[in-house]
Structure formats: C-alpha cells, structure tokens
C-alpha cells in the first residue's frame, strides 16, 4: 500500500502542538488512491457475510459509505451527540487529546447482525473501542474494524482486545 501512504499528507501540530495529523483529503482527491483504498476494503470483506457497514463520524462516513455500496449492504452511522434524530445509545470515551461522546440509533443494528466498522484512522483505539461497545450493546457482532491508516506506535489494537483489525497503511 505504498502508493496510498504517499497520498496522505502530514500536518504538524494539528489539532495541537506535538501531534502530526494524517490528512486523508489528499488521498480522497487522488482518484486512483481513493479507488484503490475502497476496492481493497470491498474485496477483503466480500466473502465475510457482512450485514451492515458502520461509518464513524466524520471521515469514516466517506469510506464506510463507499464500502457499503461496494458490498451491497446498508450503512449505519455513529455521530456526535445531538446529531441523530431518533432514540440513541450513548458512550463517552478518552481520546489521545481529550474526551468525546458518540451516539448510535437504538434500532440501527438488529441483534445478531454482522457489522463491519470502518474509519479513517486507528490511533489510541479509544474511539473504536467505544464504537465496538455500542455495536455490542445493541446486539451486533463485529466482523472486523477496518482503517485506512493505523498509527502503530500508539498501539490502538491493544485497546480493542480480541476484536479483529485490518489497516491499509501503517505509520
């Protein structure tokens, strides 16, 4: 996935001093890199009997929607508080640079459905661990968590325990 890593821009000191933000907008603007990233994910999950893809706010929506389309599944979204119009379950968690809260519609996933979680980046694993918790709370089974980028030095996989993880690019 060397081509994909070259399509990702580093932004030093964003959102705060000492953090190097991995900017995927450059990958999204590169038609070849974007297509390759989506096609690779779709091919990986085509035979895994995924019932629904879950995209995590906000950049996970982009990849999640494209992967769901490619797999012929529905798309479930997890959002920040107050953005979903129906009854929700909520979870708060620690980020690498603060705290946050996410919500999912209570009826977004049917018990037993096989869920593929898609996001742009795995850093410390806090966001993804929270999303896995929400999926399991409403009865879904996480097939795997898929990322475009994984920051290996932050060891986010460890926070996910036995949940399978796949990433296209490692930094």
Residue-wise pLDDT tens digits, 107-151: 999 999 999 999 999 998 999 999 999 999 999 999 999 999 999
Query: What pLDDT sits at residue 2?
Result: 65
CATH numbers and ranges of domains, the chain: 48-170 (3.40.50.2020)
Query: What pLDDT sits at residue 148?
Result: 98
The pLDDT-based confidence of 45 (bands split at 50, 70, 90) is very high
pTM of the model: 0.95
Query: In the predicted model, is pLDDT for residue 99 greater than 90?
Result: no
The pLDDT-based confidence of 18 (bands split at 50, 70, 90) is very high
Would you say the C-alpha torsion 130, 133, 138, 144 has a positive or negative sign?
positive
Q: What percentage of the chain reaches a pLDDT higher than 90?
A: 92
Residues facing 149 on adjacent strands: 121, 169
Query: What pLDDT sits at residue 3?
Result: 87
**Distance (Å) of CA 7 to CA 11, 24, 66, 143, 153:** 13, 8, 18, 28, 20
Positions annotated as catalytic residues are 59, 96
Query: What pLDDT sits at residue 1?
Result: 60
Instruction: Phi first, then psi: give them for residue 110, nearest 5 degrees.
Output: -85, 145
Token pair 């705290």 in the structure block, residue? 99
């Amino acid at each position: 996935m060397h081509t994909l890593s070259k399509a990702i821009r580093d932004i030093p000191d964003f959102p705060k001093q000492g953090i190097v933000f991995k900017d995927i907008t450059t990958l999204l603007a590169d038609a070849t890199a974007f297509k390759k990233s989506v096609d690779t994910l779709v091919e990986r999950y085509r035979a895994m009997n995924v019932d629904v893809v879950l995209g995590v706010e906000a950049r996970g929506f982009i990849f999640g929607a494209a992967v769901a389309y490619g797999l012929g599944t529905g798309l479930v979204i997890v959002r920040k508080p107050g953005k979903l119009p129906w009854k929700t379950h909520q979870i708060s968690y620690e980020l690498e640079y603060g705290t946050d809260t996410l919500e999912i519609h209570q009826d977004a996933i049917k018990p037993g459905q096989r869920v593929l979680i898609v996001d742009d980046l795995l850093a410390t694993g806090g966001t993804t661990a929270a999303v896995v918790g929400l999926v399991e709370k409403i009865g879904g089974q996480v097939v795997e968590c898929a990322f475009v980028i994984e920051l290996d030095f932050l060891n986010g996989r460890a926070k996910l325990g036995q949940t399978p993880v796949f990433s296209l690019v490692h930094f």
